[in-house]
Amino acid sequence: MDRTTLSIGVVVKPHGFKGLLKIRPYRETSDVLQEGRSIWLVLDGQWTKHQLRSVRRDRQWFLVEIDGCVTRQAAESWRGAKVAIPRENLPALQADEVYLADCIGLDAVTLAGRPLGRIEGLVETGGHDLFEIQDGQEELLVPACAPFLVDVTDDTVVLDKVEDLPRHKKPRKKR
Query: What are 19-52's pLDDT values in tens digits?
Result: 999 998 877 777 889 899 999 999 998 999 999 9
Q: Give the DSSP per-residue string, 68-132.
A: T--SHHHHHTTTT-EEEEEGGGSPPPPTT---GGGGTT-EEEETT--EEEEEEEEE--SSS-EEE
User: Contact 75/57 with Cβ under 8 angstroms?
Assistant: no
Which one of 3.30.450.20, 1.20.1630.10, 2.30.30.240, 3.30.70.270 gives the CATH number of domain 100-169?
Answer: 2.30.30.240
CA-to-CA distance for 110 and 120, rounded, in angstroms? Answer: 17
CA-to-CA distance for 89 and 87, rounded, in angstroms? Answer: 5
Could you count the other beta carbons within 10 Å of the beta carbon of residue 27?
14
Q: Is 146 helix (H, G, I), strand (E, B) or coil?
A: coil
Domain boundary assignment for the chain: 5-89, 100-169
Tell me which architecture the domain covering 5-89 has in CATH. Answer: Beta Barrel (2.40)
pLDDT recorded at residue 169: 82
DSSP label at 6? E
Q: What is the pTM of this model?
A: 0.69
Backbone angles phi, psi at 113, to 5 degrees: 95, 5
Weakly modelled stretches of the chain, pLDDT under 70: 1-2, 171-175
pLDDT recorded at residue 51: 96
